[in-house]
Amino acid sequence: MRQYFAIFVLSLILVFSSCRTDFDTVASTGDLKFSKDTVYLDTVFKNIGSSTYQLKVYNRSKNDISIPTIQFKKGLNSKYRMTVDGMSGTNGKLFKDVTLLAKDSLYIFIETTADITDANPTDFLYTDEIQFDSGTNLQEVALVTLIQDAIFLYPNQNPDGTKEKIKIDGKDVDGFYLSENDPVNGNELLFTKQKPYVIYGYAGVPENKTITFEAGARVHFHANSGLYVGKNASLQINGTTSTTEKLENEVVFEGDRLESLYSDIPGQWKSVIIENGSDNHSINHLTLKNAVTGLDIRNTANTIQLKNTQIYNCVEYGILGQNSKIVGENIVINYAGLASLSCIYGGNYNFTHCTFNNNWQNGSHFAVNLSNSLAGATPETNPLTQATFNNCIIYGSSTNEFNLDINTNTPFVYQLNNCLLKFSSSSTDPNYQFKTDTEHYNNIILNENPRFYNVNQNKFNIDKTSSAFAKGNQAYIIPLDILGITRTSPPDLGAYQSQDFPK
């Protein structure tokens, strides 16, 4: 009996549903509503695809409607493309008879890939409109993209279809050597501020050549790309002090995605590798961000001068020094997955008026790590002949931001003078006796908040309320801070001279 009753009920449902008109649509009357009237697709380089941007379309009426056409004003020639509720239409350009239910909405996702020649020559904007319907029911949403011209540097393609390679760490990787007389780009070893540069793969500096970056140069690295300074090659980064937040005179290294969404995402490109056997390096006023490892400095026999440099948002290290010689002044590093500064396998290091902070999202990181060994190397240890920190701040979000990895069979020489240090764990380890071990620690301010202006925005300025204010030693003073401001006496700790914060 129950079986017959169920069949009867099902039959009634089928009869009544077949008579319903709820799913009949009426033509759109031009009353669509939109989440925005203009979609800005941020800035992109010519011929590099943009991110995907979203537009939401609403039907506020009580009727299910059919939109006869959704298309670009420039038709099938548009440099934009879209999907409508997951449908690709005709080449992502034209959609017909799109149903939108009563009190419902649909999503449109928009992308573009355009050349500088497609843009308006006066403002370099590429524009179009999404048109909904036509005639008296026509509604439009504007699309705007800024196309930026650039110099593109990339590996050549071999006759067999493979890409040009260079050898790094004994492996062939996609890359190429820069040329002084490239038939298209001219001197590729001189980077100017005239246009930004976009690098695909590793750009190598040939043996016995010097690569120079002039003040204001902008270099954008594609995914898995970087700069390789090999045997007998030299690196000269000649940025100068900027007067605005645009960093107009800095040399800037970052990824090639210009959209604001990517401004602080780590790991967008690989690294600057300064290889064993290279020589005569100087880095001044460099801002480097969003790499895997910022500066990978390997077994450099002669001293690298590193000044007024900022490094942010690196997956592994801001600076990784391996048995190298580095003199650093006014250095700022933040957000690194392993360590902001890691000096391993020995070497010789001297840092003055530097701010090494690490606010990486997990707790297993350091602001500064020192070691005289390297697993798997031959030999596994090298002497750390000097690691000196003067008037520095070593801080971050972890409990202990300073780490020593000491092989007692090999020399390990280090000293911190007039530094603010975060090390919250009580320790009986003789290497961390900050108040009583005067051989290694002098005038240490322990676990006091430096009160940076805004750590999340990588703004490490301090004011007079900071525990680092006027706590430096005049004997170690660098006369100008990272912004070119004259330091007072006694100097503040870290890379910044204190100023009043804006209200």
- Closest CA relative to residue 439, chosen from 420, 412, 465: 412
Cβ atoms of residues 275 and 300 within 8 Å? no
Residue 340 · residue 367 · CB < 8 Å: yes
Query: What is residue 482's predicted lDDT score, i.e. its pLDDT?
Result: 98
Write the pLDDT tens digit of every residue in 338-397: 999 999 999 999 999 999 999 998 878 999 999 999 999 999 999 999 999 999 999 999
Cα distances (Å, whole numbers) of residue 354 to 52, 446, 464: 39, 16, 18
Give the pLDDT of the chain (503 residues) as one tens digit per residue. 445 444 544 554 444 444 434 457 788 888 999 999 999 998 999 888 899 999 999 999 999 999 999 999 999 999 999 999 999 999 999 999 999 999 999 999 999 999 999 999 888 899 999 999 999 999 999 999 999 999 999 998 888 888 899 999 999 999 999 999 999 999 999 999 999 999 999 999 999 999 999 999 999 999 999 999 999 999 999 999 999 989 999 999 999 998 888 999 999 999 999 999 999 999 999 999 999 999 999 988 889 999 999 999 999 999 999 999 999 999 999 999 999 999 999 999 999 999 999 999 887 899 999 999 999 999 999 999 999 999 999 999 999 999 999 999 999 999 999 999 999 887 789 999 999 999 999 999 999 999 999 999 999 999 999 999 999 999 999 999 999 999 999 999 999 999 988 76
Q: Which amino acid is located at 439 in the chain?
A: E
Q: Which pLDDT score, from 0 to 100, does residue 161 have? A: 80
Do 450 and 467 form a contact (C-beta atoms < 8 A)? Answer: yes
Spatial neighbors of 299 by CB under 8 A, at least 6 apart, are: 276, 277, 322, 323, 324
Mapped to the 3 state alphabet, what secondary structure does 387-454 carry? EEEECCEEEECCCECEEEECCCCCCECCEEECCEECECCCCCCHHHCCCCCCCCEECCEECCCCCCCE
Q: Cβ neighbours of residue 204 under 8 Å, at least 6 residues apart?
A: 166, 175, 176, 177, 178, 228, 229, 230
Per-residue pLDDT at 394: 98
How confident is the prediction for the chain on average, in pLDDT? 93
Place of tokens 């039907």: 59
* Residue 129: closest CA among 80, 198, 170, 84: 80
Task: Dig out the tokens for 69 from the structure.
Answer: 């056409």
CA 307/CA 321 separation, integer angstroms:
15
Exposure string of 177-216, with b = 16+ CB inside 10 Å and e = fewer, is bbbeeeeeeeebbebeeeebbbbbbbbbbbeebbbbbbbb
The residue type at 37: D
Closest CA to 145 of 130, 125, 120: 125
Quick check: 321 and 343 in contact, CB under 8 A?
Answer: yes
Helices H, strands E: what count in the chain?
1, 37
Tell me the H-state helices in 117-263: none
Q: What is the DSSP letter of 159?
A: T
Q: Which two tokens stand for residue 494?
A: 């870290």
DSSP string, 39-85: EEEEEEETTS----EEEEEEE-SSS-EEEEEEEETTGGG-SEEEEET
Domains located in the chain, CATH noted: 26-148 (2.60.40.10), 151-476 (2.160.20)
- Spatial contact of 222 and 267, defined as CB atoms under 8 Å apart: no
Among positive and negative, which fits the CA dihedral 237, 238, 242, 247? negative
Whole-number Å distance between alpha carbons of 222 and 290:
11
pLDDT of 503: 60
List 328's β-bridge partners, or say none: 306, 351
Tokens read off for 501: 């914060």
